[in-house]
A and B are shown apart, each in its own frame.
Chain A
Amino acid sequence: MTSIIVMHTNYSSDGITDNKNNMIGVITVDVPATQSASNTKPDERVREESRLKKLLSKPELGSVSGAILVLLFFAVFAGDSGMFSADGILNWTTVSAQLGILAIGACLLMIAGEFDLSIGSMIGFAGMMIAIPATYWGWPVWVSIIFAMAGAMAIGALIGYTVVRTGLPSFIVSLAFLFILRGLTIALSILMTNKTIISGVSEIAENDWLAPFFGGELGTSFFQWLVTKGWLEAYADGTPVFTGIPMVVVWCLVLATVSSWVLMRTSFGNWIFATGGDDKAAKNVGVPTDKVKILLFVFTAFCAALYASCQVLEFGSAAADRGLLKEFEAIIAVVIGGALLTGGYGSVIGACFGALIFGVVQMGIFFTGINSDWFRVFLGVMLLMAVLFNNYIRKRVTEAR
């Protein structure tokens, strides 16, 4: 009786190595020995990596696990404070989605190896570009929105063009625009309206066809219907506690899906990685790196204008100091999301989860009643940890072993 115990040494076919079920006792394994030997000979210098290790080299891992951790943390410490009621969830998803929109733009740009520090100022500027024409010049709101977006994108193109043509670091160029745009916002709004806060947009936007796409909510009738069925709680006057999904959340999800698809699945996505990974090499093989960079600066500006549109139409007002420090918050979200500051590596999904962490912590600290002064400390520590983690990941990915 010869019971042969066959140990698999067939490394390259995933199916067999991954489920390392020790096939002890199984007698026949029908792999023609000669055939498998020719194309599955393992390189003796390569160690098999476990699934876990493979997962570790995904850029979004840090932020996804971080988001889960943070949610668990607040579920334990703030579970009974209303943070996880319908109202509370709406609260932190909205905050996260707002930042998410900015982070998606910043993420693609950072993967392409550039920064845009002007997005915070761009929010204020775009907001004014909507509010002033709508309230003072008598433009229809939809025209103002399109005007603001076009204007922001043109400025984005100008920033991109300056960076590409001069070869200066985008840090400096966009820092200059941070001040230029903020200054222009204040100066022009004082010059034209003698105010820095312009309200009254809501009234004008009431019957506008485009405005609900930014300030409205999706699925209001659906949630109303849930109430009539008794599946959703409602206030005494019959309005549901959860009236609908804010458009900013919808925009964030749409933008995330589209951007992630473009990045991972299209030629342009490959160009983004190539441009950020090695600008010169990419140019040598025919990638239009300048075009890629300029387009992404335009896209970041578009994201800032989108943020501004949602904000102005939701609150019905624009203010010259809107979006202060948002550029850094976006960069933090992107870095927590696993992107490398040096470019060439990162993920849109990661950036979105980075924004989620940001929103959850910001709101969670509010709900737990911790002094909110601690929020920034926490944020800084988290950023530092994220960068350390990313650094480690990059070494793993690029180091020759």
Chain B
Amino acid sequence: MSEFILELKKVSRYFGSVIALKDIDMQVKMGEVHCLLGDNGAGKSTLIKTLAGVHVPSEGEFLLDGQPTCFNSPRSALDAGIATVYQDLALVPLMSVTRNFFMGRELTKKWGPFKVFDTKEANKIACAGLAEMGIDVRDPEHAIGTMSGGEKQCLAIARAIHFGAKVLILDEPTAALGVKQSANVLKVVAKAKAKGLAVILITHNVHHAYPVGDRFTLLNRGHSLGTFLKSDVSREEILEMMAGGQELEALESELEEFARLDSVKNSVTQEPEAAAIA
């Protein structure tokens, strides 16, 4: 058993002449929330797709539990216990909670020579899985089209946990959610961590990542800016390091400049008046 469940060493990924990722180092530990931060185009999606087995690294080493591994399909990553919850959640709105929960991996029982979908047991498991996430399902046979975005996110996470995920990759779980729902999802992330899972949380919102994260890896234009422990870095520093930090600083000074110019203009227009009064 290695210290890290997942480890990337100098991983690069090219698409033709495009360098999507360059020399990425990353370590993921069980029972930790690892936040992957970066602006749009930083390479977050490529990185998680590499972790999830969608892309194979062009260069570098991919260690799973200390062993060099190469996933050639999402299925094999899933079998190794790396489950990814993408933004589209892989849920079918017209299907019931239970049917979604067990989609593709139906719980069956014997019925004579046939295997049937064990609805009763499945309902129970789905309800229990969601209850653990703090969601009270009224009727597991109800279509999930009626659930809120946060509830759907939690359903997808509960499903991944139930099917034996050791590493849970969450792709922008809070991107489309309101404040309260985001808080709920983050609570679920904390719960998954408490269960001993490794969680990789992808986001560009530091305010969502900081409260739950233990480690932060910052990406910028395909390069890693390094991995930081929470104790070593403050929220502001992270924000600073993300591309957004510099931009915002530039914006701030620009705004200050405007304000200064305004005040100068005002004082100029006011002076003759003052003179006239005098």
Does A287 count as interface, using CB distance less than 8 angstroms? yes
Does B104 count as interface, using CB distance less than 8 angstroms? yes
Within 8 A of A (CB), among B98-157: 99, 102-106, 108, 111, 114-117, 119, 136, 138, 143, 145-148
| Residue of B90, B114, B117, B119 touching A281 (CB-CB under 8 A) | B90
Q: Are A285 and B94 in contact (CB under 8 A)?
A: no
Residues from chain B with a CB closer than 8 A to the CB of A267 are 106, 108, 115, 117
A43 to B148: give the CA distance in the assembly, Å: 13
Q: Taking the nearest CB of chain B, how far is it from the CB of A43, in angstroms?
A: 7
User: Which of the segments A315-323, A369-377, A393-401 contacts the partner chain?
Assistant: A393-401
Q: Taking the nearest CB of chain B, how far is it from the CB of A396, in angstroms?
A: 9
Task: Report the interface size class on chain A.
Answer: 20 to 34
Q: Are B88 and A398 in contact (CB under 8 A)?
A: no
Residues from chain B with a CB closer than 8 A to the CB of A401 are 146
A88 to B117: give the CA distance in the assembly, Å: 41
Does A79 count as interface, using CB distance less than 8 angstroms? no
Residues from chain B with a CB closer than 8 A to the CB of A280 are 88, 90
Does B244 count as interface, using CB distance less than 8 angstroms? no
A394 to B143: give the CA distance in the assembly, Å: 10
Does B74 count as interface, using CB distance less than 8 angstroms? yes
Chain B residue nearest in CB terms to A289: B104
Task: Report the interface size class on chain B.
Answer: 20 to 34
Chain B residue nearest in CB terms to A111: B94
Residues from chain A with a CB closer than 8 A to the CB of B108 are 266-267
Q: Taking the nearest CB of chain A, how far is it from the CB of B74, in angstroms?
A: 7
Q: Are A282 and B143 in contact (CB under 8 A)?
A: no
Q: Are B92 and A281 in contact (CB under 8 A)?
A: yes
Number of contacts between A and B (CB, 8 Å)? 92
Chain B residue nearest in CB terms to A277: B92
Does A46 count as interface, using CB distance less than 8 angstroms? yes
Q: Are B95 and A274 in contact (CB under 8 A)?
A: yes
Knowing A46-B138, A345-B94, A398-B143, the reply to whether A285 touches B103 (Cβ < 8 A) is yes
Chain B residue nearest in CB terms to A342: B94
Q: Taking the nearest CB of chain B, how far is it from the CB of A56, in angstroms?
A: 13
Residues from chain A with a CB closer than 8 A to the CB of B143 are 397-398
Q: Are B145 and A281 in contact (CB under 8 A)?
A: no
Q: Are A274 and B116 in contact (CB under 8 A)?
A: no
Q: Taking the nearest CB of chain A, how far is it from the CB of B124, in angstroms?
A: 14
Q: Are A398 and B104 in contact (CB under 8 A)?
A: no
| Residue of A41, A270, A345 touching B103 (CB-CB under 8 A) | A270
| Residue of B91, B93, B104, B119 touching A286 (CB-CB under 8 A) | B104
Chain B residue nearest in CB terms to A343: B94
Within 8 A of B (CB), among A324-368: 340, 344-345
Chain B residue nearest in CB terms to A267: B106
Does B75 count as interface, using CB distance less than 8 angstroms? yes
Does A36 count as interface, using CB distance less than 8 angstroms? no
Knowing A266-B115, A273-B94, A398-B93, the reply to whether A284 touches B74 (Cβ < 8 A) is yes
Does A120 count as interface, using CB distance less than 8 angstroms? no
Q: Are A398 and B99 in contact (CB under 8 A)?
A: no
Q: Are B146 and A399 in contact (CB under 8 A)?
A: yes
| Residue of A39, A282, A340 touching B92 (CB-CB under 8 A) | A282
Residues from chain A with a CB closer than 8 A to the CB of B99 are 270, 273-274
| Residue of B78, B92, B148 touching A273 (CB-CB under 8 A) | B92
Residues from chain A with a CB closer than 8 A to the CB of B78 are 286
Residues from chain B with a CB closer than 8 A to the CB of A344 are 92, 94-95
Q: Taking the nearest CB of chain A, how far is it from the CB of B45, in angstroms?
A: 15
Residues from chain B with a CB closer than 8 A to the CB of A271 are 104
Residues from chain A with a CB closer than 8 A to the CB of B56 are none
Q: Are A277 and B115 in contact (CB under 8 A)?
A: no
Q: Are A397 and B92 in contact (CB under 8 A)?
A: no
| Residue of B86, B104, B117, B145 touching A269 (CB-CB under 8 A) | B117
Chain B residue nearest in CB terms to A49: B139
Does A20 count as interface, using CB distance less than 8 angstroms? no
Residues from chain A with a CB closer than 8 A to the CB of B117 are 265-267, 269-270
1/0 per residue, CB under 8 A from B, across A255-295: the answer is: 00000000001110111011001101110111100000000
Q: Are A400 and B146 in contact (CB under 8 A)?
A: yes
Does B89 count as interface, using CB distance less than 8 angstroms? yes
Q: Are B136 and A41 in contact (CB under 8 A)?
A: yes
A43 to B105: give the CA distance in the assembly, Å: 30
A12 to B136: give the CA distance in the assembly, Å: 10
Chain B residue nearest in CB terms to A265: B116
1/0 per residue, CB under 8 A from A, across B226-260: the answer is: 00000000000000000000000000000000000
A271 to B108: give the CA distance in the assembly, Å: 13
1/0 per residue, CB under 8 A from B, across A39-57: the answer is: 1010100100000000000
Q: Interface on B for A, CB 8 Å cutoff?
A: 74-75, 78, 86, 88-95, 99, 102-106, 108, 111, 114-117, 119, 136, 138, 143, 145-148
A sample of 7 inter-chain contacts (CB < 8 A) reads: A43-B136, A277-B93, A277-B95, A282-B90, A287-B103, A344-B95, A400-B145
**A270-B99, A273-B99 are known contacts; what are 6 more A-B pairs with Cβ within 8 Å?**
A267-B108, A270-B102, A277-B92, A282-B92, A282-B103, A397-B143
